[in-house]
């Protein structure tokens, strides 16, 4: 996160992404999608499909 704008660092911290290769899961919500869109160039987002 070095060299990134403070706004992007705050978004990543609020998502729990504080270290490299950290993975987190979120419920699908407009606020989460908005955060992902703002830092899309820094994260990899995948949709998890339930097979139950």
pLDDT in tens, 2-51: 889 999 999 999 999 999 999 999 999 999 999 999 999 999 999 988 87
Phi, psi (deg, nearest 5) at residue 43: -125, 165
Q: What pLDDT was estimated at residue 52?
A: 67
pTM of the full structure: 0.84
Token code pair at residue 15: 């998502």
Q: Distance between CA atoms of 10 and 26, rounded to whole angstroms?
A: 17
Q: How far is CA 12 from the centre of its chain?
A: 6
Q: What pLDDT was estimated at residue 51?
A: 78
Q: What pLDDT was estimated at residue 21?
A: 93
Q: What pLDDT was estimated at residue 49?
A: 85
């Amino acid at each position: 996160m070095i060299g990134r704008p403070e706004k992007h660092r705050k978004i990543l911290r609020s998502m729990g992404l504080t270290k490299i290769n950290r993975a987190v899961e979120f419920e699908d919500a407009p606020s989460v999608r908005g955060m992902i869109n703002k830092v899309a160039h820094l994260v990899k987002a995948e949709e998890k499909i339930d097979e139950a």
